Structure 1
């Protein structure tokens, strides 16, 4: 059983690696790609698309447990993977209506995917393995930052514009990667097996099965699963409403919100800022890919170090979150000095405004690493504490986490194209500090209680 659980976690991570090789690379470059489109009929905005994705994602989390209960985590992740592939495919031949329609669809798919992932990860973990499995999954997931962004660097280095042929070739490759990741979910094995309990009336129906066709038996079983799923959906939604009021969720909410703001910054805004900095010269577009790779290296090191190497002790989570806050604040300060203030909002392909320091590639990439490392600190520990506090209520707990995170990510993407870099960084500093303090309190209270906090 332990071997199957480990196998499931690895395959789950590999599937997410391929899917998010496509989606993360797409999100990192799409605003730059949109600016470079030589198409008068396309009027879409990469920031607005990502804002729609996370906005729909946030509210879809309210119904995602219902879909997971009906389809099961394995099939839910498969269907969601297909929606991700469709979004990436739009960039092969962009059109505004398809761009925004698939933005809505992938928002729905993301809610289903992450809710199912949280449930599946907890199902295949125990108290003794939850940190190891979380770190293993996170490290595999963040490898997705490497390969697609490396392709971007190799293809875009030295370019000042992105030709249509290059765009089609890149996004066709990303679609293939996304489809491969989606197919990985079909290999997953449900563990541990759960036997379905039939009512007495349904049992009598099945005992007389010799008189009934196979098709009718399938209908009976489907109705039974649907009824069981509906009951589970109602219970999960009721549980979500109850969990929102608990001390643990209330205390962790600022940290979840901060994870949404910094997610939008490192995954969509910072790469665009680097590509828009004229002082980087012809290397600017290629640096978007290198930046994405370095963010991924930070994520992988953080996931491996904090999920696999660190020992279990009562102070571990707070220490890691504090480290995440410090490295993020250092990164924000260096970005403030190194990147022109109007880089996120320029309507041209580059900004001519100067920064406090002469823009340095080394400092820019150091900041990318720190952004990834800090993000892994916050996310691995949020997953860990939720998995420990809400072991028996994992589906609604992870749905709440993703709801809060994605609401703030959506808000951030919508204002990113209009707010100067300095104010974006200041907002993240304020919320990051508040979120870290609240996480400390939540961890301290949990250490004195074996039950979910009421």
Structure 2
């Protein structure tokens, strides 16, 4: 790759990581963004997502131990194939109307994705230097979300003249791209051979006992950082159910759902790049960067959900799979992007939801990356983060599966995000200027906090 980007360079590995996620969760995001996995009846997709995130909780807790033991290549490869299995299962629904395979595929994806995302989080937070964390997050986030943009294009192209559930061709295209993405994982270098920008190497401590390491993850419930960040973790995927189902899945025609996904994920790429300039600005203290970042995020959250409430007050349901089908009760019916007078505002609002998502998740990764530079500990933090995130996601998908009123779902999301952001503001005032390694204090809380030495025993 030339002198500037040798294979073992940390930045090169982040680029490879981005393309893995471009092909696997990037496609999953685009598919999920249509609401119900692209089916008119969202029940199967909602139940599959619930099964996914329940299993994700388990694999997330054990993910750090498994990644530390088995490495990143094969854990990400195996997890990536589960994304393809999930997408392919919808072809079975199209031909049989039976949802059991998709729900089963969702559970299998949950087991694989928990380990997949733990490996991703470990790479993401441990490879950059202190002054590169925001930049590396952006490099990854832009490539990753290109997958969502491509997925939106695939959906738009394969369903341009098709209304109803997504076609077999759309699902087959997603399956093929996800298989290619999983194969990219085999190109990753072992973390022990990765070289950071300053020439230092990523240190990985061997795991002798996976169960003991998993127990160390559970002990994170006693870590002050983790306790404060639990609401942020819980809410970080919670809003997807509402945005993808009651909003995008209910208001728009099939092709417009794909069109919207192009802008939702595209907005994330732009936002992440701009946000990096703040998070990596060395002229500001880390405390100020954290505080400004959280306050910007909080302002955008309230603007976006305020606008969403205004839209939500106009309708109560999307298209229903009755005989004959019942259209949405939004004034004028489903919105098509060609009807610019009706579509401009709702489509732009959906893109703004992508901006809010990028700010929230970039802030989450950045805050977690400030705790330590130790890759093994960060793998456990990533597993803990994904486990808590999955609890929230499992709950949120069931809200839609149980037909909880759209307006109630919206209010729950808005309140949860505001409470989480206020706790992040509190944390920002206590953040330290340097990430800690091993057994150093994590938060200035009036008394030194040291991680239980037993949590390090098998790492």
Does structure 1 residue 353 correspond to structure 2 residue 352? no
User: What displacement does 1:384 show?
Assistant: 0.9
One of 236, 241, 245 as aligned partner of 2:218: 241
Of the two, which has the highest radius of gyration?
1
3-state DSSP of counterpart to 2:429: helix
3-state DSSP of counterpart to 2:61: coil
TM-score after normalising by structure 2: 0.81
Q: Deviations over 1:375-403 (max 9, x none)?
A: 11111111111111133210111111111
Does structure 1 residue 135 correspond to structure 2 residue 138? yes
Asked if the contact 2:44–2:102 (Cα under 8 Å) also holds between the matched residues in 1, the reply is no
Partner of 1:364: 346
Q: How far apart, in 1, do the equivalents of 2:206 and 2:229 lie? A: 31
What is the correspondence of 1:217-256 to structure 2 with a 5 Å cutoff? Answer: 229-231=207-209, 233-256=210-233
One of 293, 300, 304 as aligned partner of 1:320: 293
Asked if the contact 2:44–2:99 (Cα under 8 Å) also holds between the matched residues in 1, the reply is no
Partner of 1:415: 399
User: What displacement does 1:100 show?
Assistant: 1.4
Partner of 1:273: 250
Partner of 1:209: none
User: What displacement does 1:274 show?
Assistant: 2.1
Partner of 2:304: 331
One of 92, 106, 109 as aligned partner of 1:106: 109
What is the correspondence of 1:29-68 to structure 2 with a 5 Å cutoff? Answer: 29=34, 31=36, 33-35=38-40, 45-68=44-67
Q: How far apart, in 1, do the equivalents of 2:234 and 2:382 lie? A: 14
Partner of 1:93: 92
Q: How far apart, in 2, do the equivalents of 1:298 and 1:344 lie? A: 25
3-state DSSP of counterpart to 1:401: helix
Asked if the contact 2:242–2:410 (Cα under 8 Å) also holds between the matched residues in 1, the reply is no
Q: How far apart, in 2, do the equivalents of 1:345 and 1:249 lie? A: 41
Choose between structure 1 and 2: higher helix proportion. Answer: 1
Partner of 1:401: 385
In structure 2, list runs of 5 or more residues that go unmatched. 195-204, 336-341, 444-448, 450-459
TM-score after normalising by structure 1: 0.82
Partner of 1:212: none
Asked if the contact 1:24–1:267 (Cα under 8 Å) also holds between the matched residues in 2, the reply is no
Asked if the contact 2:33–2:261 (Cα under 8 Å) also holds between the matched residues in 1, the reply is yes
Q: How far apart, in 1, do the equivalents of 2:117 and 2:62 lie? A: 12
In structure 1, list runs of 5 or more residues that go unmatched. 37-42, 195-226, 276-283
User: What displacement does 1:47 show?
Assistant: 1.2
Q: Deviations over 1:36-60 (max 9, x none)?
A: 7xxxxxx961111112111211222
User: What displacement does 1:316 show?
Assistant: 2.1
Asked if the contact 1:19–1:181 (Cα under 8 Å) also holds between the matched residues in 2, the reply is yes
Q: Deviations over 1:413-433 (max 9, x none)?
A: 011141122111111111111
3-state DSSP of counterpart to 2:39: helix
Change (3 A) 1:405 1:269: farther
One of 388, 391, 396 as aligned partner of 2:370: 388
Partner of 2:338: none
Does structure 1 residue 28 correspond to structure 2 residue 6? no
Tell me the C-alpha RMSD between the 2 structures: 2.8
Change (3 A) 1:330 1:309: closer
3-state DSSP of counterpart to 1:161: coil
Asked if the contact 2:301–2:356 (Cα under 8 Å) also holds between the matched residues in 1, the reply is yes
User: What displacement does 1:354 show?
Assistant: 4.2
Q: How far apart, in 1, do the equivalents of 2:23 and 2:396 lie? A: 26
Does structure 1 residue 148 correspond to structure 2 residue 151? yes
User: What displacement does 1:236 show?
Assistant: 2.9
User: What displacement does 1:167 show?
Assistant: 1.4
Partner of 2:317: 343
Q: How far apart, in 2, do the equivalents of 1:142 and 1:399 lie? A: 22
Q: How far apart, in 2, do the equivalents of 1:352 and 1:443 lie? A: 43
Equivalent pairs, count: 405
